[in-house]
Structure formats: C-alpha cells, structure tokens
Amino acid sequence: MKVDFTRWLPAIAKDSYRKTALSVAGVAALGGLALAPTAAAAPVTTGPHQGAVAAIDLATGKAATSAHQDEQPVESGLTTGSATGKPPAGKPSRAQLIPHGIEGAQSRVPLDDAQLANARAIVDAAKKTGVGDRGAVIGVATSLQESKLYNLGHLGAYNDHDSQGLFQQRPSSGWGTPDQITDPEYAATAFFSALKNVGGWQDLPLTTAAQTVQVSAFPYAYAQWEEQAADIVQQLW
C-alpha cells in the first residue's frame, strides 16, 4: 500500500514536457534555497525540516521499507563513474569537468527517469547558453542539492517561502512566474544566465560559483555533489 504524502506536500512535482505528476510522492528540497539572482551570500543557519528530510529520503529510496519496495526509484546508471582513464570519444574529461578538484566528502543518490530527464534539460541549457561542460556540472550539482533533480511544485507548509522548481527559484525574487520556474528549460536557462554574470565563475570552486547565484542558507552544501554531477554531465554531454 502506498503512503500518501500529498496530504502535506501538495503539488509535489511538475513535468514541463508532459505536465504529469512525478510518480514518487513526498519529495522536498534539502536546504540551499534560491533567493535573488544577484545578492550577497547568506550565513549558515539551521538545517532543513525533519519532515522534508524524511520525504526526500523516501523519494530517493533511503527510507524504503520491505512494505514499500515497489516505490523505490529505478536507477538510471548515472550514479557512478570512473575518475580515471580516458573519457569516451567526444565526452569531456574529468579534468575539464572538475578543474579545481572536489571539496570534501561526496554524496550520491540513485536517479529515476524523471531526474534523468531533468538532468538532460540542464545539460541542454548549458550548451545553449554557452557555459559549457563546466557550467553544466555547476548546474547539475546545484539542482542535486536544491531538489535532488526533481522539478518541485509548491510544497505547502514545507516550502521555503515561494521557492519552486529544479533550482528552488523564487518568483518573489524576480526569477519568473511559478509556471516559468517549474519549466526545466526556463529554470536552467535562468540559472546559467545568472551564473554568466558572476565575474570569473569559470575559475571559482563549484560551491562558490553556485552560492553566488543561489544565495543559500547552506553555502557549502553544493560541493558534495560535484563528483556525481561530473559523471552525469560526462555521460549526457
């Protein structure tokens, strides 16, 4: 029997391509919530609400019990990757994707079809906006932190103000309308447009570049996703 989290997490996710609801219920963003496109870094505050943590753990399969095994997302194969050896033909190298080395311990989550589609949208937007493969890594890592690559709708009582979408952008801070920021192509393009306004972003550590755009209460959280983001970009590029 499925657990219905929608009673306290309404409008859990949106699919801009098919406008269908995400099949995994109970996703919530973990910290790192976006504010304005250009603002000073915010100080570290408290952690995410326990209810939100529990919901996203369920959505990523961490909290699945034997009674709910059928609710675990299907892994896409983009959770692992080799840091050594030559990249596949036509793919960016690890040195291109992670030019400054990783910062601190790394995290990984399994990816289902919805997350994979959203990752593709981010990579495509990186190509179109000209930020290249390194920009794509920053974008994917940022979305992994903000929403675990789920296109989140409004989360009701668990929402951070009016943050929504892959990057938890806020309409009230000028990122766009709710419909716009829950469109993966629009959201990723908006993120990369703001990133391009960060002077010397190509030479910054990932967490610094991401934080300058996002102005998160968790400024050091982005770094933990750099390695998985690089794997995803290398395979989708």
Q: Is 169 helix (H, G, I), strand (E, B) or coil?
A: strand
The phi-psi region of residue 162 (left if phi > 0; otherwise alpha if psi is between -120 and 50; otherwise beta) is: alpha
Task: State the average pLDDT over residues 147-161.
Answer: 78
Q: Is residue 33 part of a domain?
A: no
Q: What is the pLDDT of residue 50?
A: 46
Tokens, residue 88: 């596949």
End-to-end CA gap in the chain: 39
Q: Is residue 5 part of a domain?
A: no
* Nearest in space to 26 (alpha carbons), one of 54, 1, 49, 47: 54
Would the pLDDT of 123 be above 90?
A: yes
The residue that leads in pLDDT, 225 or 155, is 225
The full 3-state SS of 173-203, as one line of letters, equals: HCCCCHHHHCCHHHHHHHHHHHHHCCCCHHH
* Nearest in space to 187 (alpha carbons), one of 236, 231, 143, 141: 143
Q: Is residue 12 part of a domain?
A: no
| Number of domains forming the structure of the chain | 1
Would the pLDDT of 113 be above 80?
A: yes
Q: What is the pLDDT of residue 158?
A: 57
Q: What is the pLDDT of residue 174?
A: 93
Q: Is residue 204 part of a domain?
A: yes
Angle at 187 between CA 186 and CA 188, to 5 degrees: 95
Question: Residue written as tokens 């989290």?
Answer: 5
Question: Residue written as tokens 């990816």?
Answer: 111
Q: What is the pLDDT of residue 48?
A: 40
Tokens, residue 211: 């934080």
Q: Is residue 22 part of a domain?
A: no
Task: State the average pLDDT over residues 148-164.
Answer: 78
Q: What is the pLDDT of residue 57?
A: 53
Percent of the chain past pLDDT 90, that is, above it, reads 53
Q: What is the pLDDT of residue 111?
A: 96
Task: State the average pLDDT over residues 89-109.
Answer: 93
Say if CB 112 and CB 76 are below 8 A apart: yes
The residue that leads in pLDDT, 183 or 159, is 183
Angle at 78 between CA 13 and CA 166, to 5 degrees: 25
Summarised one tens digit per residue, pLDDT across range 35-80 is 444 333 332 233 344 444 444 554 444 444 333 344 444 444 555 4
Summarised one tens digit per residue, pLDDT across range 188-213 is 999 999 999 999 999 999 999 999 99
Q: Is residue 11 part of a domain?
A: no
Summarised one tens digit per residue, pLDDT across range 19-29 is 333 333 333 33
* Nearest in space to 118 (alpha carbons), one of 155, 53, 162, 73: 73
Question: Residue written as tokens 């951070």?
Answer: 160
Q: Which domain holds residue 229?
A: 50-236
Q: Is residue 39 part of a domain?
A: no
Q: Is residue 160 part of a domain?
A: yes
